[in-house]
Chains A and B, each alone.
Chain A
Amino acid sequence: AQRVTQPEKLLSVFKGAPVELKCNYSYSGSPELFWYVQYSRQRLQLLLRHISRESIKGFTADLNKGETSFHLKKPFAQEEDSAMYYCALSEEGSNYKLTFGKGTLLTVNP
């Protein structure tokens, strides 16, 4: 069963528009959720994780246990935000293994 679902393979917005990348997970325990980002020609890197409760590059994500979601949001998208975004889940007692979603390719148009 798919543990992490990112329903949009592709998402295209215009510069300055709000953007929301969706992530839903399937896990009954206490998960740890992450967003990783891969910019063109760069290595995959952590963008943010839910326990940090911080905003990175203007992005925020709130863990909603009731809806089992961890959507990534930014109020005003920039062209440099264009990248592949992966949502990932770490389960309790899993030896910190990460289960990744299939990713969403975000394109921010000028």
Chain B
Amino acid sequence: DGGITQSPKYLFRKEGQNVTLSCEQNLNHDAMYWYRQDPGQGLRLIYYSQIVNDFQKGDIAEGYSVSREKKESFPLTVTSAQKNPTAFYLCASRGAAKNIQYFGAGTRLSVL
């Protein structure tokens, strides 16, 4: 099954805890993105990566961190510094040929 896989589907975070959301793609895409989706807010860009071992902050990077050690993987860590982490998180990737982003099914993060 090709595409973008996000795991887990649901995640709960305790106070002061860091949690990591997984995003894997087998589309051979160079670029990958993380968005946060809140009701009535649309999608807001957290971090993006154009190529392995390189990534840039998006519009709301504070309290988040990422790594891009492999082309297929772009994990997002929600740190304890993120005071309002409850949201739906979407990962996307983009191929070189067309400016089209393909999205995963998302991870819903809640705070206990």
Binding site for B on A (CB under 8 A): 9, 32, 34, 43-46, 49, 86, 90, 95-103
**Residues of B close to A86: CB separation below 8 A:** 42-43
Any A CB within 8 A of the CB of B53: no
Q: How many residues of B are in contact with the other chain, CB < 8 A?
A: 24
Across the A-B interface, how many residue pairs have beta carbons closer than 8 Å? Answer: 47
Any A CB within 8 A of the CB of B106: yes
Measured in the bound complex, the distance between the Cα atoms of B23 and A43 in whole Å is 14
Which residue of B40, B43, B48, B106 contacts A95 across the interface (Cβ within 8 Å)?
B48
In whole Å, how far is B19's beta carbon from the nearest beta carbon of chain A?
21
Binding site for A on B (CB under 8 A): 31, 33, 35, 40-45, 48, 50, 56, 58, 90, 92, 94, 99-106
**Residues of A close to B43: CB separation below 8 A:** 44, 86, 98, 100
Q: Would you call B40 and A9 a contact (CB within 8 A)? A: yes
In whole Å, how far is A85's beta carbon from the nearest beta carbon of chain B?
11
Q: Would you call A43 and B106 a contact (CB within 8 A)? A: yes
Q: Would you call A97 and B99 a contact (CB within 8 A)? A: no
Q: Would you call B45 and A46 a contact (CB within 8 A)? A: no
**Residues of B close to A96: CB separation below 8 A:** 31, 94, 99
Given A43-B105, A95-B56, A96-B31, the answer on whether A101 and B42 have CB atoms closer than 8 Å is yes
Q: Would you call A32 and B99 a contact (CB within 8 A)? A: yes
**Residues of B close to A49: CB separation below 8 A:** 99-100
**Residues of A close to B44: CB separation below 8 A:** 100
**Residues of B close to A99: CB separation below 8 A:** 45
Measured in the bound complex, the distance between the Cα atoms of B58 and A98 in whole Å is 10
Which residue of A9, A45, A102, A103 contacts B103 across the interface (Cβ within 8 Å)?
A45
4 cross-chain pairs, A with B, having the tightest CB-CB distances, nearest first: A102-B42, A100-B43, A44-B103, A100-B42
Measured in the bound complex, the distance between the Cα atoms of B88 and A103 in whole Å is 15
With both beta carbons as reference points, the residue of chain B lying nearest to A87 in the complex is identified as B42
